[in-house]
Amino acid sequence: MSPSKKAVKGGREFLSKLVDELDARFGAGDKVRFFRAPGRVDWLGSHTDYNQGLILASTVDREIAVAARLRTDGRLNFYSLNLNQEVRTRLDDNRPDSSHGFANYPKGVIHEMVEAGVPLPGIDMAFWGNIPIGANLSSSAAIEAATVEAVLGLLDRPMTHWERSFICWRAENRFVGLPCGILDQFTIINAAKDNVLYLDCDHLSSELIPFKFNQYYLLVVDSGVGRQLVKSEYTKRVQECRAAFDKLRKAGFRIESLSSLKPGQLKDAEKKLPATLIKRVRHVVTENQRVEQAKKIVSGKDFERLGKLFEKGYQSSSKDYENSCEELDILHDLMAEAPGVVGTRIAGAGWGGCLVSLVRKVDWQEIDESVKGPYKDKTGKDLRFFPVKTGDEPGEI
Ligand code: GLA
């Protein structure tokens, strides 16, 4: 399918600025075209993806836009308007570089596309976005998906959504170096506006469930806690899950992943595992169950029950998977008392970053008023609120 034309809300004014930056920094060139990709929010299925588990997630109405044009001299030039950061490299020297910051994402995608046989002769790219950085709405996967759209669009090449997702996933795993699952990339590339995506990460089978919030909406709350721990703790959890799997296999459990462990087997499995791994496995197994239940609820639209599952998910994350932190726990408890909030869970990886709440009717400013002050008193940190709706899929602007 060729990229569809999409609108960037509130972003038009930046598009001509992106062209000016490209010309001023990298010289005049081919005609510039514009592409975009949305962020994502996970609804349930925390840390289940790299355990071949289940996920419920959607795009959000915030995005990354990129102005791009081909070059013929093997150069790769990147600029971020938000960060005012410029990176120049070459196709024959396209390696991860920690001093390249955001540019490692498009560089990684280009690396993987070239590996996959896409003949890119060089490119200029200027990015702009309104997905808050570090807010667990996956601005990085949106940069990756926008890069795929741009390269395919400029070269006029087809590629399946499945392959696009894996190119981005490999860029993140092999180039950027985070051993993440497929949640972010798959959701951004395969979900759609007014739908929630149900994904089975084992079979990579997915379903789009048509969906309208009506009187409810999702409210993302940024705790103001940076996510410095994410890389080390995330890698540790991946290793713990792997260790638990190995132990259970050795103990005779005929499972293909932690997610193929049945809830009824949990008691027996626990006898074979040390205390920490018991908690990790319990989270994965019960979280998969919650996704199954939530999928039915979303189709039936009983959002009060969905809120209860958010709550159970939060408790499981905080106590068993231990991907919360003191501030997130404080924030969670304040949100639980706030008007209209029917449930709150950790968005994305955790260890700081954001919570996501399901909210009934009440205006988010009212919640802000009741939570901001007490949170500041208890933690010294400032909150940011982002009400989100589902967003348009990636494509050309
Ligand atoms: C991050 C990763 C995802 C997923 C979530 C936790 O967002 O990139 O692959 O593991 O954390 O569910």
DSSP string over 184-245: HHHHHHH--TTEEEEEETTTTEEEEEE---TTEEEEEEE-S---TTHHHHHHHHHHHHHHHH
Angle at 9 between CA 3 and CA 13, to 5 degrees: 100
pLDDT band at 221 (very low <50, low <70, confident <90, very high): very high
Q: What is the dihedral of CA 72, 75, 81, 84, to 10 degrees?
A: -150
Any atom of ligand 1 within 6 Å of the Cβ of 47: yes
Task: Report how far ligand 1's centroid is from the alpha carbon of 138 (Å).
Answer: 9
Q: In terms of DSSP bridges, do strands 54-70 and 33-44 run parallel, antiparallel, or are they unpaired?
A: antiparallel
Task: Report how far ligand 1's centroid is from the alpha carbon of 33 (Å).
Answer: 31
What CA–CA distance (Å, rounded) separates 130 from 114? 29
Residue nearest to atom 9 of ligand 1 (CA): 181
pLDDT band at 211 (very low <50, low <70, confident <90, very high): confident
Give the single-character DSSP code of 5.
B
CATH class of 3-211: alpha beta
The β-bridge partners of 66 are 35, 127
Structure confidence at residue 317 (pLDDT): 98
Alpha helices for the chain (secondary structure H): 12-26, 104-115, 139-155, 161-170, 183-190, 230-250, 266-270, 275-300, 303-316, 326-337, 364-379
Task: Report how far ligand 1's centroid is from the alpha carbon of 29 (Å).
Answer: 38
Structure confidence at residue 9 (pLDDT): 56
Residue nearest to atom 8 of ligand 1 (CA): 180
Task: Report how far ligand 1's centroid is from the alpha carbon of 254 (Å).
Answer: 26
Q: Where are the domains of the chain?
A: 3-211
Percent of the chain scored above 90 by pLDDT?
88
Atom of ligand 1 nearest to the CA of 46: 12
92-108 pLDDT tens trace: 999 999 999 999 999 99
Structure confidence at residue 304 (pLDDT): 92
Any atom of ligand 1 within 6 Å of the Cβ of 307: no
Structure confidence at residue 90 (pLDDT): 97
**Residue where the block lists tokens 């985070």:** 178
- Give me the sheet containing 216-222, strands edge to edge: 341-346, 354-360, 216-222, 384-388
What CA–CA distance (Å, rounded) separates 207 from 391? 17
Any atom of ligand 1 within 6 Å of the Cβ of 144: no
Any atom of ligand 1 within 6 Å of the Cβ of 184: yes
> What is the sign of the dihedral through the CA atoms of 12, 102, 220 and 259?
positive
Q: Residue 3 pLDDT > 50, yes or no?
A: no
Q: Residue 334 pLDDT > 80, yes or no?
A: yes
Contact (CB, 8 A) for 149 and 142: no
Range 66-84 average pLDDT: 97
Q: Which two tokens stand for residue 93?
A: 């020297």
Catalytic annotation, residues: 184
Residue nearest to atom 2 of ligand 1 (CA): 180
Any atom of ligand 1 within 6 Å of the Cβ of 173: no
